[in-house]
Amino acid sequence: MRKYFVQSLLRTLVVLAAIVLVSTSAISKVRAEQLPQVPVPGMVTMVDLGAKQCIPCKLMAPIIEELVKEYQGRAAIVFIDVWDNPDAGPKYGLRAIPTQIFYDAKGLEISRHEGFMDKKSIVAVLQQQGVK
């Protein structure tokens, strides 16, 4: 009787482990598909990596929204929430949030900044790359 119970328990654990692996894989794929392509091919790109609940990130949100509108078609301004997309932290080598990473039109990282960054400083980096 005890042997039957142990075998049944082991089968149940194997099934549960398989379910967890499949669902974790599906979650990772959904998150990865949600991430925008960065850098944007052929465009100067600024990616702001932060979180919607982080205080300095909240202070930067209106700045990022303005820049998205002002630079539409001339430069790519992208926000990635690293709390919603935990794979982004390791992918971009984050040590703190917010972090802003700037790429030239060839896709090479040209600059990185950690912490709050004001609009004037962001615009200066974009202008250094020839974005008017």
Q: Which of 57, 78, 82, 126 is catalytic?
A: 57
Provide the pLDDT for residue 129. 93
Provide the pLDDT for residue 11. 55
C-alpha 27 chain-centroid distance? 15
Q: Which of 35, 54, 123, 125 is catalytic?
A: 54
Alpha helices in 1-132 (DSSP H): 2-34, 55-70, 88-92, 119-128
Q: At what angle do helices 119-128 and 55-70 cross, to 10 degrees?
A: 50
Annotated active-site residue 11? The verdict is no
Taking only the tens of pLDDT, the chain with its 132 residues reads 666 554 554 454 443 443 443 333 333 333 445 678 899 999 999 999 999 999 999 999 999 999 999 999 999 999 999 999 999 999 999 999 999 999 999 999 999 999 999 999 999 999 999 998
